[in-house]
Amino acid sequence: MLQVESLDVVIDSKPILEDVSLSVADSEIVAVLGPSGSGKSTLLRAIAGLVEPAEGDIRWNGQSIVDIPTHKRGFGLMFQGYALFPHMTVADNVGFGLKMSGHADISGEVEEALSWVGLEGFGSRQVESLSGGEQQRVALARTLAPHPDLVMLDEPLGALDRNLRQKLVIDTRRVLEAREVTAIVVTHDREEAVAMSDRLALMRGGTIVQTGLLDELLSHPADDWVARFIA
Amino acid sequence: MRQIRWGWVAVAAPPVIFIGYFFIYPLTRILALGLSELSIGASGVEARLFRVGWFTLWQAIVSTVLTFLAAAPLTWAVSSYRFKGRRLAMALTTVPFVMPTVVVGTAFLAMGWQESIGAILVAHVFFNVAVVVRTVSTLWSRIDPRIQEGARVLGASEWQVFRRITLPLLRPAMAAAASIVFLFTFTSFGVVLILGGFRYATLEVEIYRQAVTLFDLPLAAALAIVQLVGVGGALYWYSRYQERTAVSWTLERGSNLRRPRGRARVGVAFATLGTLLALAVPLSTLISRSLAGSYYPALFREDPIVGVPVLSAVNSLFFAVAATVLATIIGVLASTVIVGRTGDMSRWFDLTLMLPLGTSAVTIGFGFIVALDWPIDIRASRWLVPAAHALVAIPFVVRSTVPTLRSIPRETRDAAGVLGASPFRVWREIDLPIVSRAAMVGAAFAFVISLGEFGATSFVARPASATIPTMIFRLLSRPGQSSLGMAMALSVVLAALTAAVVMSIDRARFGDVGRF
């Protein structure tokens, strides 16, 4: 279980996150929904340890993790734009996390991870030869392959065209559920957030305004902005 | 809370120690020595500094102007027209530029030009034509033709378009080319030492004479200060100029070259063939004269004074390998700091590492013999040669690797970190493989630089560790036709080695030979 408590993040003396609190139960998928610039990506980067919080705490199963460096947190983060390693094949990309943890049977695990996203046999391809949708799925497989405790997806479908998105929303959700992972999905798209998550967290101006199921947000919006944004 | 990041300290330490000990520290010793000499005001020192400084300045200015005049026809042809052999012509023009200075000097001796100011100026032009052609044509061929067409429609003749539109637009490239050519000719050493005889000396040559031949280290240090002031002034002028004239018009992405027709065809043919023929004369004379006599076999025979000349090639290759390894490791570490750190640290590193570029090789070599008696005297060590070469080559390695490292998005490194890679693993798995091809190009540059380096080597190479360039110079310093012949033969060997490495860089299709 993840608990973010009163988190403040300051970058170049500008406050990016202010008093953000959020908790995600085991095997729960939470969507952080908000307009661009609201601090969603920074929240994920803070949880991953890529930015240091100025105030507040981040706990995993009750233990504070803010002093643990990124590479030892054991979380997965799928980046907006994927950040695939351009000098590696699909298999080397997907197997990277396993290689870092010194896993024994990397190729078998890679083949399995590729099968979750329907890319069997793509292992030897160069990532630059892939289509946008294929890259998205490689990124997802790379994130999931090391079996991270927590999976974070940053605008996982943001770079794709509309038709592909509708298909991949369902696929991605299915993959996450099949693995029973605990996940946070960041998006600015309401449809996507609703389709991919169990629960929504609405973010605006560096803080979380309201969390809850879609119905709760619709029936009891915290303020006018929430009512308009969610409608 | 600020913590010391030991990983970064470990990465930054080798470049800091290397540049600090082999460059910054000797430079301060030169400054201290030279300033005390200047403050004593020994008789005649000022007049001498002025005379040598003035010669250095005016020959550099005249060389620069002549280089522009000589480069103009070919620059015009390759910037305006698309024609058969255009790329080949550009490539061939670059050949003199990559040749070691000693080879160029020997080539002009082979043509019978010696102890003359004309030989120095023409050799400088020969050397630097490629700088002007490449730098200016890159901009010229990309000017949007509609700007010129607009002027034509408004009633300007073709000449007026060139004078009022094209030429002003080319100013940034011309300033860049002029400052490069000026710096090269202002700090010219090998060519002037070989072709100037005893009558003509630039600051570089005079530093060498005072330090190595006459052992007047304080005077040499004073000369080095004048030299540094001159170089610094030129660099300052250029950076100010760059700030004032930021290029703001839109450039065409691709090239918009036309095929030449009518009179233009004749002009293009004359410009191209004329330039190439003129450039071919010195090197072909060198080759043909080196073959007129049994000079090549003589390179393998024991000579009572210089030893077996061809053994210098063994030394050169050994030093080149050592210098390349050293420059590549230090250069890549330094690039990692420049790209990985932000703010002052990165800027300071970038600037400091470029300083050896602005400092002449002679000053670097001179600094070694002035300063490296502390903490222990290592001035007789043969390892000074690769250290000096590496110092000259590091800026080139940094320049070829920094852009590649900068092109790696932050997310790529972050992704590796999230997947469990420690900062060191990120560097090993992401940065290193991606930068390795660019580093190979930098390494090849370092190799070529080391093979041809003469200015610094002439201070630190002992007779037993003579490199090809210093061996050529020793042969040239002796009277007699056979010594000249052997020098010519050895120059051809050096030219061939250099050409082979440069061609392999070109084949790697990475970057542009002779760009800065």
**Please, which residues have CB within 8 angstroms of residue A27's CB and are 6 or more apart in sequence?**
A180, A181, A182
Chain B hits for A49, Cβ within 8 Å: 417
Confidence of residue B43 (pLDDT cuts 50, 70, 90): low
Domain hosting residue A118, numbered range: 84-147
Shortest Cα distance, chain B CAs vs residue A66, angstroms: 14
Rounded to the nearest integer, the mean pLDDT of chain A is 92
Domain shared by B268 and B383, yes or no: no
Q: Interface pTM (ipTM) of the complex?
A: 0.89
CATH of residue B373's domain is 1.10.3720.10
Does any domain span residue A224?
Answer: no
Domain shared by B220 and B362, yes or no: no
CB contact under 8 A, B419 and A76: yes
Does any domain span residue B37?
Answer: no
Write down the pLDDT at residue A8.
95
Does any domain span residue B405?
Answer: yes
Domain shared by B215 and B357, yes or no: no
For a pLDDT cut of 70, what percent of chain A falls above it? 100
Domain shared by B205 and B336, yes or no: no
**Which tokens sit at B313?**
């090639």
Domain shared by B242 and B304, yes or no: no
**CA-closest candidate to residue B187, choices B387, B479, B507, B455:** B455
Domain shared by B72 and B59, yes or no: yes
Q: How far apart are CA A3 and CA A64, in angstroms?
A: 9
Among B418, B423, B433, the residue with its CB nearest the CB of A87 is B433
Does any domain span residue A119?
Answer: yes
Residue located via tokens 């469990």: B420
Does any domain span residue B424?
Answer: yes
Domain shared by B264 and B367, yes or no: no
Domain shared by B162 and B229, yes or no: yes
Domain shared by B349 and B441, yes or no: yes
Helix or strand holding residue A103 (H, E): none
- CB-based burial, B291-330: b 16+ in 10 Å, e otherwise: eebebbebbeeebeebeebbbbbebbbebbebbbebbbbb
What's at B439, amino acid-wise?
A: A
Among B411, B414, B419, the residue with its CB nearest the CB of A97 is B419
Q: How far apart are CA B141 and CA B81, in angstroms?
A: 9
Does any domain span residue B149?
Answer: yes
Write down the pLDDT at residue B153.
86
Domain shared by B310 and B407, yes or no: yes
Residue B1 has pLDDT above 50, yes or no: no
Residue range A24-29: average pLDDT?
A: 95
Q: Does B24 touch chain A (CB under 8 A)?
A: no
| Alpha-carbon B418 to chain mean position | 43
Residue B249 has pLDDT above 50, yes or no: yes
Q: How far apart are CA B349 and CA B354, in angstroms?
A: 9
For a pLDDT cut of 90, what percent of chain B falls above it? 54
Does any domain span residue B297?
Answer: yes
**CA-closest candidate to residue B356, choices B213, B235, B178, B447:** B235
Q: A14 - beta bridge partners?
A: A11
Residue B181 has pLDDT above 70, yes or no: yes
Domain count, chain A: 1
Among B418, B420, B429, the residue with its CB nearest the CB of A101 is B420
Q: How far apart are CA B64 and CA B62, in angstroms?
A: 5
> Residue B287, CB half-sphere, CA atoms under 13 Å: how many?
6
Specify the DSSP class assigned to residue B251: B
CB contact under 8 A, A77 and B418: yes
End-to-end CA distance of chain B: give it in Å, rounded.
40
Write down the pLDDT at residue B510.
45
Domain shared by B352 and B396, yes or no: yes
Does any domain span residue A165?
Answer: no
Q: Which of B5, B419, B432 to mutate to test the interface with A (most CBs of A within 10 A)?
A: B419
- List, for residues A123-140, the tens digit of each pLDDT value: 999 998 999 899 999 999
Confidence of residue B42 (pLDDT cuts 50, 70, 90): low
Write down the pLDDT at residue B241.
80
Write down the pLDDT at residue B351.
76
Write down the pLDDT at residue B233.
86
| A 72-131: CB under 8 A from B | 72-77, 79-81, 83-87, 96-97, 100-101
Does any domain span residue A199?
Answer: no
Shortest Cα distance, chain A CAs vs residue B326, angstroms: 26
> Residue B191, CB half-sphere, CA atoms under 13 Å: how many?
30
- List, for residues B199-244, the tens digit of each pLDDT value: 899 999 999 999 988 888 998 999 999 988 888 888 888 878 877 7
Shortest Cα distance, chain B CAs vs residue A143, angstroms: 8
CB contact under 8 A, A100 and B420: yes
Residue range B14-18: average pLDDT?
A: 93
Shortest Cα distance, chain A CAs vs residue B304, angstroms: 56
- List, for residues B479-499, the tens digit of each pLDDT value: 888 999 999 999 999 999 999
Determine the residue of chain A that is closest to B411 in CA distance. Answer: A83
Ramachandran bin of A204, using left for φ above 0, alpha for ψ from -120 to 50, beta for the remaining angles: beta
Domain shared by B354 and B431, yes or no: yes
Domain hosting residue B315, numbered range: 293-516
B450 φ/ψ angles, rounded to the nearest 5 degrees: -65, -40
Coil, helix or strand for B495? helix
Residue with more model confidence, B43 or B174: B174
Residue B184 has pLDDT above 50, yes or no: yes
CB contact under 8 A, B420 and A74: yes
- List, for residues A51-110, the tens digit of each pLDDT value: 999 999 999 999 999 999 999 999 999 999 899 999 999 999 999 999 999 888 999 999
User: How many Cβ atoms from other residues are within 10 Å of residue B251's Cβ?
Assistant: 12
Among B416, B423, B434, the residue with its CB nearest the CB of A96 is B416
Q: How far apart are CA A198 and CA A24, in angstroms?
A: 10
- List, for residues B313-362, the tens digit of each pLDDT value: 999 999 999 999 999 999 999 998 888 877 777 777 777 777 777 788 99
Does any domain span residue A126?
Answer: yes
Write down the pLDDT at residue B515.
36
Residue A204 has pLDDT above 90, yes or no: yes
CB contact under 8 A, B411 and A81: yes
Does any domain span residue B347?
Answer: yes
| Alpha-carbon B194 to chain mean position | 18
End of a domain among B269, B292, B315? B292
Does any domain span residue B6?
Answer: no
Chain A hits for B422, Cβ within 8 Å: 69, 71
Shortest Cα distance, chain A CAs vs residue B508, angstroms: 17
* A41-50, B282-291, B334-343, B364-373, range with the lowest pLDDT: B334-343
Specify the DSSP class assigned to residue A29: E
Shortest Cα distance, chain B CAs vs residue A226, angstroms: 31
Does any domain span residue B95?
Answer: yes
pTM given for the model: 0.83
**CA-closest candidate to residue B161, choices B143, B175, B147, B140:** B147
Write down the pLDDT at residue B255.
61
Angle between helix axes B217-244 and B45-80 (nearest 10 degrees) is 40
Write down the pLDDT at residue B441.
87
Angle between helix axes A106-116 and A162-179 (nearest 10 degrees) is 130
Does any domain span residue A117?
Answer: yes
> Residue A68, CB half-sphere, CA atoms under 13 Å: how many?
16
Specify the DSSP class assigned to residue B155: T
Domain count, chain B: 2
Q: Which of A50, A75, A140 to mutate to test the interface with B (most CBs of B within 10 A)?
A: A50
Alpha carbon dihedral A51, A55, A60, A63, in 10-degree steps, equals 120
Q: Are strands A182-187 and A150-154 parallel, antiparallel or unpaired?
A: parallel
**H-only helix segments in chain A:** 40-48, 90-100, 106-116, 132-144, 162-179, 190-196, 214-219, 224-230
Write down the pLDDT at residue B41.
63
CB contact under 8 A, A50 and B418: yes
Does any domain span residue A101?
Answer: yes
Q: Where are the beta strands (DSSP E) in B9-65?
A: none
Does any domain span residue A143?
Answer: yes
Ramachandran bin of A59, using left for φ above 0, alpha for ψ from -120 to 50, beta for the remaining angles: beta
